[in-house]
Each structure stands twice: as C-alpha cells, then as structure tokens.
Amino acid sequence: MQLLKPEWVNHDGDKAIFSVDLHPDGSRFATGGQGQDSSGRVVIWNLKPVVYEKCEEDEKVPRLLCQLDQHLGCVNCVRWSHTGRFLASAGDDKVIFIWQQSSYGGGAVFGSNVINVESWRCVTTLRGHNGDILDVAWSPGDVWLASASVDNNVIIWNASKWPEQVRILRGHSGLVKGVTWDPVGRYLASQADDKSLRIWRTIDWSTEEKILEPFSECGGTTTVLRPSWSPDGQYLVSAHAMNNGGPTAQIVERDGWNTDKDFVGHRKPITCVRFNPNILKKTDSKTNKSVQYCCVAIGSRDRSISIWFTSLKRPLVVIHDIFEDSVLDLSWSKCGRCLMAVSKDGTLAFIHFSMNEIGHPLSEDETNNLHIKLYGKSALTSASSVNPTIIENPEILRLREEEKAKAERNKELSQKPTPTTPLRAPINKQIETRTADGKRRITPMFIPPSEGVDSPSKSYEASFSSSQQEKSKIVIEKVDKIVEPNVSVSRNAFNSNSCSQPYKTPIVLPEEFNGMPAGLPARLEKSSVNNTEKQSDIPVSTIPVKRKHDEVQPVVVKRKRGRPALYERSSAASSRAPTPPPPVQPVTPSRPQPPVPPSQPVGPVQILPEACLSKSSRIQIPVDPTNDSPPPLLIIENDYRIGSGVGVGNSVPNLHRISRMQVNDVVWVTYLTSQVSAAAVTSKTVSITCKDKTLHVFSINTGEMIFPPLQLPGRASHLFSEKDIVIVLTTDATLIIWDVGKKKKLLSESVKYLVEGRSGNVKSVMLTKKGTPVVLLTSGEAFTRCPDLESWLLLGESANVRKILQPEFTMLPQCFPNNSSAQPLASLLHQTATYSGSCRVSRPLISDDVRQNITEVFINRMLTSATFLHSAQDFKFWLKRKVQFFIREGMEKKLREIFDDLLGPGHSGRTETNDDHWHPKIMDYEKKTLLEEFLREILLAENSLQLQRLYSEYKEQLDGTIADSI
C-alpha cells in the first residue's frame, strides 16, 4: 500500500475541498470546493502525475487540465457519470451544472495565471432546489441523477431529457445530506439531519423503509452524510450513526432492512462512506476456496480513514491523522486499487493498493450474472431503457394517444378566429324626455357593427361616411313625463337581492328598456357602488340624530355653471333650517361619560356598518326566464319631491317613493316616511328596511303591505330575501329570520362573536338550498348554522392559511349564479376570496412535507363542509381533488383506502364486518361510478406508469363486480 499527499492538488493553497471523484477511465479526477471570493470551483486534474513519479517530475505532463469557476457558491459535490461523458457539480448556489468536454482547445482562465489544457462546457443547468445542494448521484446506466439539498427534498432528474424532473421526493423533515443508488437501480437511499435513513422504490418513488433507531442519538454536527451501497446490492452502509454512545457506520441488510451490524472504532461521527465499485474475490489459503466480498472505505471527523472487508471482522487498515480537519469525501477508481480522500483543510490523499492486498475484481459479465441471479435485473438492463418503467397496460397507451390527438385538435380550433356576435339593441327608435328644469333628454342609441365589419373604424366609416348620407329612419318617441337621471345598482351573485353591499356581478338592464349598450350600465353601476362603499366607511353615531340629505348622492345632470336647478332653488328655504347639534360619541367605560340629553337615549353599540342606498336605485324583479318581454323594475327614490315646493316653506314632508315599473308604465306606487336603507326583491315580495329601524314587506304584484311594519332591534346592515324567507342582520350583529308566508319568526340570535376578533366585517348574508343561513366575512371565512348542533360551523379559510396550501389542489370549480343553489360551498368560497393557484401571492417558506399535510387537512375540511351543506356536487368535486392529490403525491396506501370503500364488498381489501355497514351510494352518487371516474384520473396523471398496477388491480375487480351484477 502506498500513501501520497500531492501538495500541488489544492484550491488556491488553503481553500477547502469538499468533494473528489475519479473518472471511470482512470485518466483524470475532479475536485470541488471553494474558490476565490467565496465562489465555487471545480478543477479537473491529471491522474498520471499523482500515480507515477516520473510524470509528476516531467514538466511536459500537465497537472491541471481545466479549472471551472462558474459556480457562484461553494461546490459541495462532483460526480462523473458511469460512462465518463458527463461531470455533475452542485453547490451552495442551488444549481447543478452538467459539464461535457468540448472539442475546442483550452485557454487562460479569466483573472488568473491558470492555463486550461482541456475545454469543458456546461451543457445544461438544473434548477429546482430552494437551498444548498450537498450531494448528487448517478443511477446505474446514467438513467437518472439524484440530488440532495438542505430544502429537505431529493429531486430525480431525467438524464436523457435535461432539465426534466422525474420526481421530487418529499419525506425528510431535515437537511438531506447524502444520496446513493442501489447497483441495479431498484432503490435509492437518502440520509438527512432528521435522524433518518429512507429507502425509496424507483418503480413508484414511494418510501420502502424508514430507518430511525440507529440515528436517534445523532446530532447535526457533520457537513455531509454520504452513505454508500455495496456493489453486490446486499448491504447499505450509512454515515453518522450511534451505538451505545459511540459513533458508528450502520450496516443495513437488504433482506428485511435489518440493522444489527455496524462498523465501529472511530472516535468522532462518520461523514462519508464509499464502497469499492467491484465485487472482489480471493483464494483462502486455508481452505483453498475462492471467497467473494466487498470493500468499503469510511471517513470521519476524527481525521482518519478505515478500510473494511465484508469477509473480515476487523478493518484491513486504519490511517490516523491523515488530515488536519474532517474527511469530507472518498472516491475509488474503477479498477478498485486506488482510493482518494479530501479534507476540509484543503488537501488530498491518495492511497494505492496492490492486487494481493485488495483482491481480484469480478469481471463485468460475472457481476451482471450475479445481479440477475439475485434480483432479476442488472445495471445493463437498467441502462438499456431510458425509462425502466414500461407501460404494462395498453389502455394507458391508448388514452395517451387520444389525449395527444385531442390537444392537437383544440390547438387548431384555438388558432381559427371566432366571429363576434354583434349586440342586439333597438336601432330604429329613440326616447325623448324632459327633466324638471325643462331640458330635453334623448336616451342614447346603440348601433351594433354590421355583418362582415372587422374593426370599429370600418364600422364608423360604413355608417357615418359623408359620401353615403341618407335620411334618418329613426323614430323619436316623446314621453310626457318628468324624469331624473338614474344609476343602476347590482344584485347579489348568490340570488340575493340585498342592496346594502356592492357585489362583483352586476345586473345589466336590457337595451329594450334603457337604450344603452351592455357595458354602459355596468360602468354607471360601478360608480354608484364605489360611492356606497365610501359612505359605509364613515363612522355612524350610536345616538340617533336626524340629518337631512346625509346619504343623498350628487345628481349627474349637466347644467350651466352658477345656475341652480328649479327644485334646488325651491328648497333653499328648507336648507336654511337650524343645524342640529353634533352627536355625542360613545366613550369607553374607563373614562367618565359625558351627560346625555334625556331626549336622546343612548343606542346599541354599533359593530357592523349600516346599509345605505343612493337617492335613486333600480332593482330588477325576477321573472320567468322564458319571457322575452323586458323585466319589471323596482324603483326606489329617497327624498322624493312633492310638487314644485314653491311657497310651501318647511312644511314639505320627507317622503320616499317605492314604485314598480314595467317598461314605461307604473304598476303601483307607495310612499314611506323614513329613508330606505336596503331592499330585497323576490318573485312574490318586496322587503325594505328604513332608517327608523323598521322592516316593510310588500306584495310584488299589488304593492300592498303583507303585515304592518316590523320594528327591528337596530338599524339594518344586511338584508336578504328568497321565496318566503327574509333575513336581516342589524348593526349590533343580531341576525333575525322570518317566514313571511307563515308569518313566523324562525331565528333571532346575536352573531357578534363571529365578527369580533377577526380582520374583516360581514360581507353578505344568504340562505342555502336547505334553508340554513350563511354569514360571509370579508376576511374569507364563511359560517353556516347547523340546526341540530345549534352552532355555527366554519366553512372557509382565512387568507393566511390559503397562502400555505398547495395552490393546485385548492382551485375551485366554475360556479354560475343560476347554479349557486346546487353548489353552495363553491359559491361561498368564490365570494370569500380567490382560491385559485394562478394568483401571485407571497407564500411562506415552509417544508413541502408540512404544506402537503396542511393541504390534505384543507381538502378533508371541504369534504366535511359539503356534507353538512348536503351538497352532492361539492362533495364529489373535493373527493376528486383528494384522489388527484394522492395520485400526484404517490400515496398508494391512502388511495387504496378510498378505492376499497368505493368498490365495496367482494374483494380482498374488505372484511365481513365492514361489509355490513357499506352502502352503494354516497351523497346521491353511485360509488362504483365514482370509482370508475377516479381510476381514469390515474391514466391522466403524469406518474400514471408508477400507479398502473394499482389501476389494473381495481379496474379488474370493478369490471368483475359489474359483470356479476348483470
């Protein structure tokens, strides 16, 4: 045995070297570590000057072949591919460079005196980790490349399709510091700071075994943890382990993953383990029989290296104090006679063995035959296919071809321009009216583009060109009524007709009635909504003090500057009335309360903002959708003018008008003496709340009161009505529900505890299909009341929790207003906040394992919420999302639990006890129909090949049960 320490192998003298690897052809070796200015450096060296003294003394023989300084952080690992064609380097800059030798010559390294004899170029850069990469390993046959990082993940890269990621292995809860492959490519082992060693199956990338016991006493004191697999595949040797308080290298047997043996003797934790790549053999001098064994080198923080044979109980040799710092990496030559070791002190040691000392290696054919005998495959069979997982099920292949053809057809259809359908509107009629000051008002007419017109400019030229002037055929219809400018308001998207809050989905009035294009009412409506929001932000006094025109919006009417309108001049006298005293603000109990006038009693504490309507509002009355006539409107006019007001003075009462209008005909009219704050309309009734804390319910057909005004415990904040149900939420957070048809109160309860302590207020109040109330908060939570539990249940999630979830499994289905009753949960979540993963939000840096668990909990909560809401469509959607989630994460065990319940009795996964409680339906859906649909999700998944046996197993049983039922 020879031990050498060439001093010329270094990184700028004293920079640390973290990794070393010998080329398979034995001509060169690579080192990785620190470079200048804390950057990373990869150096490719000539091996001949290390092995042969003559070559070292010969100046014509180059020592340094190439220096690569492209890494921005320290290089932690360098590994040659098994063919020697590529070199992989990874470091603290979170990237992996794949290097390949170039045919061009070398040259001077920029900023140094180093001359590169060879030229190596980066063929690809692999990005995917969120932290420092500590170790990489090539699989047998160079099919995959595994990388381990401090982000607790292991990424499998497709070596034939850079930079494709085959799988991200999530399971470790600590820094992953080492990876190694089984010599036949069936398993991958990873070791991390979470005191565990995981064995992953390459067929489905799931965990085969998690070994914890030998590492329970270990601490995270080592920079790297590099395990290694024996060349015969029988043993896996880990790095840092403990046995009775002493550091060891744990031996894990492949048969049963037993851990009853270990290598002992080192005084400090083991950092790296590296097996000789060959299966060795010797002739026993006593028995004269050939003995096969494996050889392993172990490096430790105690600056020593030990070399062991699996056929001996004691080490072959132990080299103490070979370095001044920890041993960080080891590498054997392909012939098995040369061993290299590097240290954090920046030096390299070279150990050369004779054939008698190390043994004779088995030939490549003998090794492959042994692997086939033991495991049914070898490294050659793994290398023969880029993807060792073959398609066993022809249905997967057929479905993939169908999906590919479908995608091509959709692409062709998307490239064809779709002709736009012109908007329909009256083009031969205009309505002329007059305002109160005598001015003419002509309703604007929308003229749609003619057929075949491609752009708005062409439409303009075709319609109004001076060379094609024709006599206008438009009929002007005069209406002998005084009109006021009106602003449309929107309705609730959840079939709510409450006007107390703005909504996202505006109701556009038909052009036959207002003569405006489809987009114009929406813009006017948006303006009105913004004004309402501004008013709701103004704090409202808890002492009721009457103020005139508090919520009156400015009338949008153009007139000459300095000339007030006629009705404004007539009401000038009333505006000079003495101003009432300012309201007394509420005070905290700790301070002395100012005296309150006895004529103004202190009102209840206001928690929610008061509902507010503009001076003039329109609400569309729901009618039969098959009716082609324009829908009727409910017109609400606060502070309605009675006559001209001339000479009346202050005797004009404040009246507020409510009327129903069909096109231009007034069906009925009624007046109220208190200002209207909110209104809700159904096909039977009109519900109105006023500032004087009253609720009025009228018949929509006749305008007659169904019963006298109801006195509310406080001013209304939200109003909702559907069929015969009326819901009012007051400003002091009291929720009251009436059944108008039965003239009965169903619920009166304070929901103050739902609002207090949360970031947002109440957004809306609504009713589900089953008649249960729902309170929706602006922060994202939604509460529904369970009659049996007599409690409120939380359905949604806050925005902070949604940032942690995996966004691709929290996206909601499409939900339209006319289908909101069938999908109440989806409708609620659509209104609380966006659950779509496409929105750009800053997500906190947490482990993928935690994010995965929280996402599973979220999906389970959605399933529970859909069950309590009795929503079959919502339940099916989230159950499908759960199956998709388990498929993508490769959770075969949890998939089997779902599939077993859906499949029912008659298969091996169930017992007779379970069969007694099994039902063929779940939430109005046939379980076997759902199973057939969910099995198709396996075929559509990217990792369908890893789950194809699971698909075949349940597909055969499902087809068998269907055939038996027939």
Give me the pLDDT at residue 529, please.
Answer: 39
Report how far residue 618's alpha carbon sits from residue 483's, in angstroms, rounded to the nearest whole number: 14
Please write down the long-range contacts of 777-783, taking CB distance under 8 Å and 24 or more positions apart: 777/832, 779/832, 780/832, 780/833, 781/832, 782/828, 782/829, 782/832, 783/751, 783/754
| Residue-wise pLDDT tens digits, 585-622 | 444 444 445 555 554 445 567 788 888 888 888 888 88
DSSP 344: T
Token couple for 842: 């800053």
Q: How far is CA 428 from the centre of its chain?
A: 52
Residue type, 153: N
Q: Please give the torsion angle defined by the CA atoms of residues 723, 727, 728 and 732, in that order, rounded to the nearest 10 degrees.
A: -170
Domain ranges of the chain: 18-115, 795-965
pLDDT higher for 574 or 246?
Answer: 246
pLDDT higher for 449 or 87?
Answer: 87
Residues in the chain: 966
Which pLDDT band holds residue 500 (cuts at 50, 70, 90)?
A: very low
* Order of strands, sheet of 429-434, starting from the edge strand that comes earlier in the sequence: 440-442, 429-434, 475-482
Identify whether the C-beta of residue 277 lies closer than 8 Å to the C-beta of residue 294. Answer: no
Give me the pLDDT at residue 478, please.
Answer: 58
Average pLDDT over residues 362-379: 84
Average pLDDT over residues 726-731: 91
Give me the pLDDT at residue 510, please.
Answer: 42
Identify whether the C-beta of residue 868 lies closer than 8 Å to the C-beta of residue 793. Answer: yes
In terms of Cα–Cα distance, which of 802, 946, 830 is closest to 886?
946
Has residue 547 got a pLDDT over 50?
no
Report how far residue 621's alpha carbon sits from residue 701's, in angstroms, rounded to the nearest whole number: 11
Which pLDDT band holds residue 477 (cuts at 50, 70, 90)?
A: low
* Range of lowest pLDDT (163-172, 448-457, 721-730): 448-457
**% of the chain surpassing 90 pLDDT:** 32
Has residue 147 got a pLDDT over 90?
yes
Average pLDDT across the chain, whole number: 77
* Order of strands, sheet of 360-361, starting from the edge strand that comes earlier in the sequence: 290-293, 280-283, 360-361
> What residues have CB less than 8 Å from 647, skipping those under 6 apart?
none
Has residue 351 got a pLDDT over 70?
yes
Q: Please give the torsion angle defined by the CA atoms of residues 524, 526, 531 and 535, in that order, rounded to the nearest 10 degrees.
A: 140
What backbone phi and psi angles, to 5 degrees, belong to 3? -120, 125
**% of the chain surpassing 70 pLDDT:** 69
Token couple for 853: 């668990």
Token couple for 253: 């047997």
Average pLDDT over residues 143-171: 93
In terms of Cα–Cα distance, which of 372, 404, 340 is closest to 30?
340
pLDDT higher for 46 or 774?
Answer: 46
| Residue-wise pLDDT tens digits, 795-839 | 766 666 766 776 666 677 666 555 556 677 777 777 665 444 444
Give me the pLDDT at residue 925, please.
Answer: 87
Which pLDDT band holds residue 535 (cuts at 50, 70, 90)?
A: very low
- How would DSSP label each residue in 492-525? -TTS----SS--SSPPPPPHHHH---THHHHHHH
Has residue 466 got a pLDDT over 60?
no
| Residue-wise pLDDT tens digits, 170-214 | 989 999 999 999 999 899 999 999 999 999 999 889 899 999 999
| Residue-wise pLDDT tens digits, 917-956 | 778 888 888 888 888 888 888 888 877 777 777 888 888 8
Give me the pLDDT at residue 531, please.
Answer: 44
Identify whether the C-beta of residue 78 lies closer than 8 Å to the C-beta of residue 32. Answer: yes
DSSP 833: -
Give me the pLDDT at residue 847, please.
Answer: 67
Which pLDDT band holds residue 556 (cuts at 50, 70, 90)?
A: very low
In terms of Cα–Cα distance, which of 761, 763, 743, 764 is closest to 752?
761
Report how far residue 960's alpha carbon sits from residue 835's, in angstroms, rounded to the nearest whole number: 40
Has residue 686 got a pLDDT over 80?
yes
Handedness of CA 368, 373, 379, 380 (dihedral sign): positive
Give me the pLDDT at residue 642, please.
Answer: 63
- Residue 692, H or E segment: none
- HEC-encoded secondary structure of 276-310: CCCCEEEECCCCCCEEEECEEEEEECCCCEEEEEC
Identify whether the C-beta of residue 27 lies closer than 8 Å to the C-beta of residue 47. Answer: yes
Q: How far is CA 893 from the centre of its chain?
A: 24
Has residue 564 got a pLDDT over 70?
no
Give me the pLDDT at residue 945, please.
Answer: 74
pLDDT higher for 346 or 533?
Answer: 346
- Residue 84, H or E segment: none
Burial call 260-280: b when 16+ CB within 10 Å, e when fewer:
eebbebbeebbbbbbbbbbbb
Handedness of CA 396, 397, 398, 399 (dihedral sign): positive
pLDDT higher for 502 or 123?
Answer: 123
Give me the pLDDT at residue 431, please.
Answer: 63
| Residue-wise pLDDT tens digits, 410-462 | 777 766 554 444 444 444 556 666 665 666 666 665 555 444 444 333 333 33
Please write down the long-range contacts of 306-312, taking CB distance under 8 Å and 24 or more positions apart: 306/263, 306/265, 306/266, 307/339, 308/263, 309/280, 310/230, 310/235
3-class DSSP assignment, residue 555: coil
Has residue 391 got a pLDDT over 80?
no
Has residue 737 got a pLDDT over 80?
yes
